[in-house]
Amino acid sequence: MSGYDLIAYPGNAEDVVLMRAFAGQRDGFFVDVGAGEPVSGSLTKNLVNGLGWQGVNVEPLPERHARLQQARPGDVNLRVAVGDEPGTARFFRVIPGRGQTGGGGLSTLRRDVLEGHLTNGWRHEELRVEVVTLETILGAHAEPGFDLLKVDVEGAESAVLRSADLLTWRPRVIVVEATVPLTTRPSHQEWEPGVLAAGYRLALFDGVNRFYARDDEADLRERLAVPANVLDNYIPYACARRAGLIGPE
């Protein structure tokens, strides 16, 4: 790869940290709540393509779910949202306003989060989505002690995390988006006490996400504790595309 060991697909190179932390472990298992796209922005693409991992991708936006279905046939891809009140709910798809691009990654179950985006010029559409608990998903697809739980649900992280018994499931690593969407304001006060009480220790805050390892995994926590840096010898996905190192995917 023209001198680079790894392409970082998410914007904050979270996958570089995970690839280092899991140290070449093959055939792992993940549950990705708020999976987004299968390539750009994906925390799990390197784990899947590089290490042969499989997992569960949870993504309520229909177009993103369709792309996950096409790109990740070996995974379970669920077109649902996750929360502590199962049923159906309004899901707010955030779309660009004038002069803006993107927006899908800002979509949310939370009206208060949406209102902040509307104030900043974004627009939205409403969808009806099925909501299930994380406990339901884990009970159907995971085994206790699985490798990675990632949660990025634009302000609804607390509802996701309290909808499963982490003491029972004990994923080795938990990664949670920990700032109010599109701000630097921390949001982990809502849900971190429950994570710590389930037997986890904070390994890293990278400015956006908080990385936790089980308290019986000191070596893993140490590998998680350093942000992605030049010694990881990686290149961001957008730069790799511009440099012609990879083609369209």
Does some domain include residue 90?
no
Identify whether 111 is part of a domain: no
CATH of the domain at 36: 3.40.50.150
Higher pLDDT among residues 235 and 117, named by residue:
235
> How many domains is the chain built from?
1
106 part of a folded domain: no
- Using the predicted structure, report yes or no on whether residue 102 has a pLDDT greater than 80: no
Q: CA nearest 240: which of 12, 48, 4, 11?
A: 4
* pLDDT range class, residue 5, cuts 50, 70, 90: very high
- 123 assigned to some structural domain: no
Region 128-155 average pLDDT: 96
Is position 97 within any domain?
no
Residues of the domain holding 192: 6-84+136-242
**Other CB atoms within 10 A of residue 212 CB:** 26
How far apart CA 158 and CA 151 sit, in angstroms, is 10
Residue 219 backbone zone (phi > 0: left; psi -120 to 50: alpha; other: beta): alpha
Tokens for 134, please give them.
């994380």
**DSSP line for 117-153:** HHHTT-EEEEEEEEEE-HHHHHHHH--TT-SEEEE--
The answer to the question of residue 124 being in a domain is no
- In this predicted structure, the answer to whether residue 197 has a pLDDT above a threshold of 90 is yes
What's the confidence (pLDDT) of residue 104? 67
User: pLDDT-based confidence at 245, cuts 50/70/90?
Assistant: confident
Q: What is the model's pLDDT at position 249? A: 59
Residue 57 in domain: yes
The string of pLDDT tens digits covering residues 37-94 is 999 999 999 999 999 999 999 999 999 999 999 999 999 999 999 999 999 999 988 8
Is residue 114 a part of any domain in this protein? no
* Cα–Cα dist 131/90, whole Å: 10
CB-CB neighbours of 111 under 10 Å: 10
What would the pLDDT profile of 103-126 be if each residue is shown by its tens digit?
668 888 788 877 877 788 888 888
